[in-house]
Structure 1
Amino acid sequence: MNKLEKLEQEAFEDKVTIHDYYLGEESLKGIYIDGNIAINTSVNNTVEKACVLAEELGHHHTSVGNIIDMENVSNRKQERQARFWGYNKLIGLTGIVRAFQAGCQSRHEVADLLDVTEEYLQECIDCYRDKYGVYTEIDNYTIYFIPNLAVMEKI
C-alpha cells in the first residue's frame, strides 16, 4: 500500500470523504470543509496528491472553523499546524534520518525515497528549521537545518 492509499484509508476510517474536484484555479490544490476534502483535478500524480491529502487531513485533525482569511493570526497558526501535521505524517524527523541511512545525497533522492515532491520536502525542512532552529536531536542522530540539511550519527 503506497502513502496515498494509506492516507485514503485513514480518511475513510475517520469518515472523511475525498472528492476530485476542479477548484477554479491551478494554485489551489485542496480544501477541507466539514468532513470533506476536495483535491483539485489539476493534481494529477499520486505523489503530489498524497502531499495535498496529508495537509487536508491535517486540517481535519487540527483546524476549527473557517480559516480562509490569512490576515487573521489565529488562522495562520491553524494553517501552519495543519501543514506541520502533514509533514510529520509523510516525512517526519525519522524519515530524514532514514534518508541519511539510505545514503541519499540530493534533495531529489530524499524526496524520491520518502515518496513526496521536492517542493513538499523543502517546505517541510523550512518548517522544521522554523520550529527547531539550527538543529534537533532524535535517537542517536543530530539533524542540522542550518546552513543546509545534514544528518550526523552520534558515536
Structure 2
Amino acid sequence: MIYLTTYERLASSPDAEGVTIYDRKFRSPRIKGLYCDGNIAVSNTLETDAEKACVLSEELGHYHTTEGIIIDQSSAANRKQELRARLWGYNKLIGLHGIISCYKVGCQTAYDMAEHLGVTEEFLLEALQCYRNKYGVCIKFDNYVIYFEPGLSVLELI
C-alpha cells in the first residue's frame, strides 16, 4: 500500500485540478505561499509535510474563493476574502468531521489531534477559534455535539 502525505493527497485532489503547484524559495522568509492566476507557490523552506499541507490548503482556498488582488489587507473586503480562503483551508483539512474523527480515535491533546489530521498545532488552534467564532459555543453535527467552550469536547448523541 502506498501512503501519501497530507500534502501529496491535497496536491493530487480534485480541489487542485486546474492549478499548477510549485516549490519555491521566496526572498522573505515570512512568505510561505502565494496564489496567482491558477498557480500556487509553496515555500521550499517549510520543514514538515504538515506545514506544507496547511499552506497549500489556504492557497487552494484563494483559488476557490478569492476574486482579484487582495494584498492590501487594510481593506475590509480584502480581509474578508482572506478569512474566506482560510476557512476553506480549515474545512478541507479539519472540518467538523475531522474533530469527530479525533474524538473517535481518542485524541486527548491539540498535539494528538494535529498529528491525527496531518496539520500543525497552530493551524488546528486557529481553525478551532474560527469555528468557535462561526458556530458559537457548540454545534450539533450528525449524531454529535461539538463544544468549543470551555474547552473542546465532543458528545455523541444516542
Partners of 1:39 and 1:67 in 2: how far apart?
18
Aligned to 2:75: 72
Q: Distance in 2 between matches of 1:2 and 1:65?
A: 31
1:104 aligns with 2:137: no
**Percent of aligned positions that are identical:** 50
1:69-117 Cα deviation digits (max 9, x unpaired): 1110111111011011111110110100010011111111111111111
Given that residues 16 and 60 in structure 2 are in contact (C-alpha distance below 8 angstroms), is that contact kept between their aligned partners in structure 1? no
Is the counterpart of residue 126 in structure 1 residue 133 in structure 2? no
Residue among 114, 117, 120 paired with 1:114: 117
1:55 deviation in Å?
0.5
**With structure 1 as the length reference, what TM-score do the two structures score?**
0.94
User: What stretches of structure 1 of length at least 5 have no aligned partner?
Assistant: none
Aligned to 1:60: 63
- Which residue pairs with 1:22 in the alignment? 25
Contact in 2 for aligned 1:141/1:154 (Cα 8 Å)? yes
Cα distance in 1 for residues equivalent to 2:35 and 2:101: 31
The whole-number CA distance in structure 2 between the counterparts of 1:97 and 1:126 is 16
Query: Hey, what's the Cα distance between the residues in 2 that align with 1:21 and 1:44?
Result: 13
Alignment deviations for residues 110-152 of structure 1 (CA, whole Å, 9 cap, x no partner): 1111111101100100110110010111111111111211111
In structure 2, stretches of 5+ residues that fail to align are none
User: How many pairs are equivalent?
Assistant: 155
CA deviations on 1:37-71 (whole Å, 9 max, x unpaired) are: 11112212211101100100000000000001111
Partner of 2:40: 37
Q: How far apart are 1:26 and its partner, in Å?
A: 1.9
Contact 2:7 2:50 in 1 (8 A): yes
Aligned-partner residue type, residue 121 of structure 1: L
Within 5 Å, give how 1:86-105 maps onto structure 2: 86-105=89-108
Following the alignment from structure 2 to structure 1, what is the Cα–Cα distance between the partners of residues 146 and 33? 31
TM-score using structure 2 length:
0.93
